Each structure stands twice: as structure tokens, then as C-alpha cells.
């Protein structure tokens, strides 16, 4: 098994221990740091030393990507990852998202604000796993989303509006354990409204004066 996937499984086990009061917040954070810095399997296994057996009743499910994508530890071309452990990561303003985004949130927050982003024509695939935190994806009106996420004692909220013909689609996959995944359509900030209006006209084939373009 890939070492990066094994690290994520250890992190899941640590989260379950924390939920069962086997670890304090400080101990959890220290063991997280050791897990992610482990250079081999032997070092990784020591991260769980001294902890009792877990109760299967409340142990969190394994990460979705650990089940479906064993080679997740290797970045593919066009892929970007964001790790939020006891921290907040915000991507907003004018930026160029990668066609594939993987987000991992543990007691933190991840904001992917796509309202002023340069979206690839083929859309974006977002794979996000949340434990006791929040991942929020903001879309400009006209851009659609396809949300297929699972929740365990958590929330998945799909508030995306329908897409305009030809607009990119944001495909969101993942899981939420005692946390939330929110996908929401929201108007751009006031200073960005004119740029968004121009994009909508382009999608609708309209000229600057609002008239339909010639076919």
C-alpha cells in the first residue's frame, strides 16, 4: 500500500481515538505532525503506540480516496492538493484552479471561491474529505455543479444553481464525518460584477450591447 494512503489511515484512526477521549487536543496535533512527517511504515506505526483498541461503533469510515484510488500519494499532472489540519486555507480572488483538486480538512476549513477564478473549459473535479471541519465551494451564477458526497454525522449541502449551456461544471466528490461540505452559488463581489457579466454574455453568445451574436 502507498505510504501516503497509510498516513491517511493513521490520521483517521487518530481522529477516532480523539472522539473516544483517548487523546487530548494537544496530543492529537502532535501525533498528526508525526504521522505526516513519517518517512517509512515503521516510523508511521509508532504514531499509534500506547493507544487502546478502538470501538468499531464510532470509528470513522476510511477516506473515500483510500478506498477508490490506491495511488493517491502521487500527484498527477494538473492536480493540486490542499491540506487543512487545525488551520484555514482560502483560495479566492483571481486565480487559476487546477483541473483536479484534492482537499483534506481535519478540524479546520477550506474555502475554494471560484467566483473570480479562471475556470478550465472542461470544468473541475474536486475530491474533498472533511473531519470535524468545513469545506465550502462558492460558484458564480451560470456555473453548475454535480455534487455526489456522503455524510456521517455531518452535512452535505448542495445549493448550486443550474448551469448555463456551455458553462464549466464543477464535479464535487468526497465525504464528511462530523463536518460539512457546502457547495453554493453566490454573486461575485461588487467590484467583480462587470467581469462576471461579460463572461455570462460570452456564454450566451451576446454582444456587449446585449444583442444576440450572429450564428
Q: Would you write out the chain's pLDDT as a tens digit for each of its 215 residues? A: 578 778 878 877 887 787 778 888 788 878 888 988 899 999 999 999 999 987 654 444 444 443 333 334 456 678 999 989 888 999 999 999 999 999 999 889 999 999 989 999 899 999 999 988 999 999 988 899 999 998 888 899 999 988 888 889 999 999 998 899 999 998 876 656 666 666 666 655 655 554 444 44
Q: What are phi and psi of 130, to 5 degrees?
A: -125, 130
Q: Which domain holds residue 166?
A: 92-185
Is 118 found in the same domain as 60? no
Q: Can you list the alpha helix ranges (DSSP code H) found in the chain?
A: 3-19, 25-37, 41-45, 64-68, 193-204
| Sole residue written with cell 467583480 | 192
- Kindly tell me the burial class for residue 201, based on how many C-beta atoms sit within 10 Å of its own C-beta (0-12, 13-18, 19 or more): middle
* pTM as predicted: 0.65
pLDDT of residue 64: 40
Residue 199 lies in a domain: no
Is 141 found in the same domain as 69? no
Amino acid at each position: 500500500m502507498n505510504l501516503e494512503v497509510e498516513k491517511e489511515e493513521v490520521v483517521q484512526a487518530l481522529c477516532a481515538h480523539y472522539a473516544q477521549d483517548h487523546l487530548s487536543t494537544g496530543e492529537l496535533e502532535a501525533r498528526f505532525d508525526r504521522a505526516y512527517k513519517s518517512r517509512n511504515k515503521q516510523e508511521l506505526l509508532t504514531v499509534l503506540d500506547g493507544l487502546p483498541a478502538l470501538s468499531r461503533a464510532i470509528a470513522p469510515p476510511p477516506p473515500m480516496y483510500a478506498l477508490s484510488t490506491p495511488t493517491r500519494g502521487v500527484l498527477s499532472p494538473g492536480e493540486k492538493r490542499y491540506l487543512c489540519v487545525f488551520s484555514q486555507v482560502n483560495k479566492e480572488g483571481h486565480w487559476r484552479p487546477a483541473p483536479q483538486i484534492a482537499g483534506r480538512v481535519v478540524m479546520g476549513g477550506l474555502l475554494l471561491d471560484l467566483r473570480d477564478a479562471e475556470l478550465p473549459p472542461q470544468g473541475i473535479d474536486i475530491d474533498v474529505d472533511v473531519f470535524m471541519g468545513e469545506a465550502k465551494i462558492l460558484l458564480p451564477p451560470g456555473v453548475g455543479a454535480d455534487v455526489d458526497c456522503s455524510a456521517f454525522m455531518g452535512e452535505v449541502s448542495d445549493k448550486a444553481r443550474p448551469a448555463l449551456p456551455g458553462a464549466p461544471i464543477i464535479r464535487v466528490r468526497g465525504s464528511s464525518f462530523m463536518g460539512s461540505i457546502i457547495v453554493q452559488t453566490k454573486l461575485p463581489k461588487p467590484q467583480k460584477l462587470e467581469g462576471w457579466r461579460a463572461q455570462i454574455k460570452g456564454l450566451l453568445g451576446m454582444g456587449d450591447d446585449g444583442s444576440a451574436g450572429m450564428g
